[in-house]
Structure 1
């Protein structure tokens, strides 16, 4: 039986500061107790017809490449320096696109393409084409990586983010790698030790969005209205800083947190990144006096709704039912928690 290696990394939410963080403002982000799970089955080198298979179970997609074909296509790009993360060049991206083209991904799944490109680049760069992997010190528990290992993982994850999003802030990969709550500005992060464990309702509107296009749209609006947008970004920066201070205070005030979330949502609407589906979530949750804001790129995607500790279970049930009735998907989650982990069975 092939050895099975499992790893998992938490999802992340941006509590405040998205989009503005790309323009130098502060953002606050956190991991959540929902995970992306990876199962890796190393093969045995030497048969001459090894395959690399990528199965995206939630999407019903199975992609396959012959190891030799991938090696022949990418051999001249000098991959496999796993300790020196570097951006994917334009020339390498063209080669990767050639490897991907014949897979015939269904049109409905075309949004997955950039993620697959990132997989190919990271696989070739980190593992190369050496076949079997022989991990050491196997333990039948979930293991935490050391700080240096996490830093290396985070750098590679950022290169994947470059492929998917173009000009990423670095928040997504950092939070999923390290976990917990962070304050992030201009590439520098500060770990936050919250005195309050926030609870959120996350609503997936199921509306596909193009992060690159949304980021570009904010940049274009900034070019058209530089002074006005500078004021918007400054306001977001103030919100994020105050949000962070409240989380770390000895007596955190959830009413103030809710007010700041509402202010941030208004500014995001001013940036032009909201969407009618997001407005629907705001309308439904506000009827029960709950405050919501988009999280991430906007243009659809997911929406956060703060669930104060005093929120009755009946209210959460009613709101969730109404949101699901219009076709949205809902999750209740706690904010913060552990980052990347790996499970090595005996």
Structure 2
């Protein structure tokens, strides 16, 4: 049996950082995916000491890991085939860490350890210790604020739950080979993926895995999520500055600035909230002709521009981000950072009437700075599965 699953990355259209201080934010899925292929094997195949093994092939990193099923069963027996999603205990995490010590992970890729830990926990909890080969690849740059870890956890959880017969029994809706699950199935996948995200990030908000699972757009504020329906295609150019950043330090920096200037920063956060609320309303408007679409896009661009100005007020911009802003402005395009800032990725709204030549020129100029660009459509489907 083979199951393939893919889950999208995400962007923050408005509200990052301010959301921590009670403002609304808007996030959306993008058509860049992390894909997982799960191939269940007969018990004696796949290596191991006569009882098979679980093999994980990370194509983008060029690394392959394998654990004998008997070894996993002995180490993770308590969490095998859990009845419902639950957090990984400290003892289980310690056991998983010992399993990872059996493999020499290159120092430059030691950050993979958290993802490997999430994989082993999800695999044992959902599928037990059955012999299988799992192959993972991704369109998403790692650690750039596009939800790569959530997409990993969602695609893995979706493949495992499908193979275990726990989701997809109703068939869902099908199209071009990919299957879209019903809401109840997606909610189960999301709960499991959240457990994986907790292993990777400690205390995630749950927003990234929710967007990756359900897709589309959401408005979120103080823990409440509202689904948004975008009636017109929204396209963005994502520029990965390739500049790493410390998210925790950036979040802490905004909080420190708020403590030094409480009245000013309260006004900033209030303004960001207003931007997120207005943007939510605009994306749900149906524009039926070229004039209406252009008007809608101009309003979105203005809100993005204002949001970027407020993010600069918060102190989370960066020289690389400013380079992207200056470059796109030369072509009358509006950009804003997405996520934590301090580097990472920048969004540029692509108007419907923008010529292909102009887009090629701005992309080439951005890439001449050593950046990496992706053209994406915003607000598409979430988890999709294909069974063979």
- Fold match by TM threshold 0.5: yes
Judge which range, 19-28 or 235-244, deviates more.
19-28
Judge which range, 336-345 or 271-280, deviates more.
271-280
Query: Structure 1, residues 39-82: CA drift from partner, whole Å, max 9, x if none?
Result: 11112225643222221111212122222222322334x44325
| 186 and 155 in structure 1: CA distance in 2 versus 1, 3 angstrom threshold | farther
Name the SS for the 2:236 alignment partner.
strand
| 289 and 123 in structure 1: CA distance in 2 versus 1, 3 angstrom threshold | same
* Distance (whole Å) between structure 2 residues aligned to residue 120 and residue 211 of structure 1: 26
Query: Structure 1, residues 150-208: CA drift from partner, whole Å, max 9, x if none?
Result: 00111111222222223322221111111111112222221111232111101112223
1:168 is matched with which residue?
204
Name the SS for the 1:41 alignment partner.
strand
Match among 332, 337, 342 for residue 299 of structure 1: 342
5+ long unaligned stretches in structure 1:
none
- 1:124 counterpart = 2:124: yes
Superposed displacement of residue 258, structure 1: 0.9
| 213 and 157 in structure 1: CA distance in 2 versus 1, 3 angstrom threshold | farther
RMSD (Å), alpha carbons = 2.4
| 43 and 207 in structure 1: CA distance in 2 versus 1, 3 angstrom threshold | farther
Match among 63, 70, 75 for residue 72 of structure 2: 70
CA contact (8 A) 1:29 1:182 kept: yes
Name the SS for the 1:65 alignment partner.
strand
| 118 and 273 in structure 1: CA distance in 2 versus 1, 3 angstrom threshold | farther
After TM superposition, the structure 1 = structure 2 runs for residues 55-204 of structure 1, keeping only pairs within 5 Å, are 55-76=57-78, 78-82=79-83, 84-131=84-131, 133=163, 141-204=177-240
Matched pairs, number: 341
CA contact (8 A) 2:8 2:382 kept: yes
1:32 is matched with which residue?
30
1:50 is matched with which residue?
52
CA contact (8 A) 1:21 1:169 kept: no
Query: Structure 1, residues 263-315: CA drift from partner, whole Å, max 9, x if none?
Result: 21222233333222222211211111111111122232211100111222221
| 53 and 209 in structure 1: CA distance in 2 versus 1, 3 angstrom threshold | farther
After TM superposition, the structure 1 = structure 2 runs for residues 302-317 of structure 1, keeping only pairs within 5 Å, are 302-317=345-360
CA contact (8 A) 1:282 1:291 kept: yes
* Distance (whole Å) between structure 2 residues aligned to residue 219 and residue 31 of structure 1: 28
CA contact (8 A) 2:69 2:130 kept: no
Judge which range, 262-271 or 215-224, deviates more.
215-224
CA contact (8 A) 1:49 1:67 kept: yes
After TM superposition, the structure 1 = structure 2 runs for residues 325-340 of structure 1, keeping only pairs within 5 Å, are 325-340=368-383
* Distance (whole Å) between structure 2 residues aligned to residue 19 and residue 303 of structure 1: 15
2:276 is matched with which residue?
240
2:304 is matched with which residue?
261
CA contact (8 A) 1:165 1:211 kept: no
What's the TM-score, normalizing by structure 2? 0.80
| 31 and 134 in structure 1: CA distance in 2 versus 1, 3 angstrom threshold | closer
